[in-house]
Structure 1
């Protein structure tokens, strides 16, 4: 091979290599850019602050839109118990503490995260159904449910999630009998 032929071969390899690089870069430019923490997922401005404000004003403010009776019916417990659980979960797992991102925007509040988990458990709702009112996406709702369940077991497991003893069974049977007796009186 002559010197010219060697140089032509090297230039052809460089050109082919550059061609491959340019093809790769153009294909990468056509793919959607990564905007959120999951590749391919786009960030949706859900109005988290608005959702938190609405939730707070509807159920947790000093003068809530929906009173104690509706709270109990919808959450299946009294507000004071709900707030005790919220406090215990927030203190146990830092995930439930509201944080601020690098731009200065607030993330989801503790109430939004815990309410999502409660709604999914109490009503058997789908994770994405909480988005319309609470303003939380499906993947985050699933994480909330998992972290909430784990926190509940870790915080309350020894006291409430144990096998009932003889006294517990007797107490529960007594309550059941009282309720049946009350129902019979109500029906007469």
Structure 2
């Protein structure tokens, strides 16, 4: 997908896809994508557009971030991006690694931390406004098969199937803070 196609489909004022389509395809709102794009460009020059050795424009920041997010959101393989986006497997993997490092570096203090009392109070207040006092969010759980569970622990981690499992429980707030 060329930069021009990407812009016409998703980012120009009269783009092909409306906001709801964008959110479904990118798993985020357009303004969040643009904030992420701006932040990564400020931190890492890898995400600024350069020219290749022939003097042609290299992949745009929009292309790089889009490909990395699609790999994360949908589990696309890096080698499949060559067919659809014209980006080699090694470039896709490098782009994904660069984006993950930047996300951690830029957002760890705000989003990748345990909530403090102020955060908890804000979430409880928001839930109470919605009629759910005392609830910080919906609880969900997932059962994972534990293939390499040590033999001596298998009995304590066995589920109904008698196979060792681990249960991951998570609470998500109104703004999907897990």
**TM-score, structure 1 as length reference:** 0.63
Q: Flag structure 2 segments of 5+ consecutive residues without an equivalent.
A: 133-178
Q: Which has the higher contact order (CA 8 A, sep 6+)?
A: 1
**Which one has a larger percent strand, Structure 1 or Structure 2?**
2
Does residue 20 of structure 2 align to residue 66 of structure 1? no
CA offset at residue 127 of structure 1? 1.2
Does residue 68 of structure 2 align to residue 117 of structure 1? yes
CA distance in 2, matches of 1:126, 1:156: 25
- Structure 1 segments (4+ residues) deviating >4 Å: 170-181
Larger deviation: 169-178 or 136-145?
A: 169-178
Does residue 54 of structure 2 align to residue 103 of structure 1? yes
CA offset at residue 90 of structure 1? 0.9
Q: Report what 1:165 is aligned to.
A: 116
Q: Flag structure 1 segments of 5+ consecutive residues without an equivalent.
A: 1-49, 182-188
CA contact (8 A) 1:99 1:106 kept: yes
Q: Report what 1:81 is aligned to.
A: 32
CA distance in 2, matches of 1:124, 1:177: 37
Quick one: structure 1 residues 65 and 169, their matched pair in 2 at CA, closer, same or farther if it must change by over 3 Å? Answer: same
Quick one: structure 1 residues 61 and 166, their matched pair in 2 at CA, closer, same or farther if it must change by over 3 Å? Answer: same
CA contact (8 A) 1:55 1:112 kept: yes
CA contact (8 A) 1:52 1:134 kept: no
Size of the aligned set, in residue pairs, is 132
Q: Deviation digits for residues 29-79 of structure 1, max 9, x if unmatched?
A: xxxxxxxxxxxxxxxxxxxxx621111111011211111110011111111
**Which one has a larger percent helix, Structure 1 or Structure 2?**
1
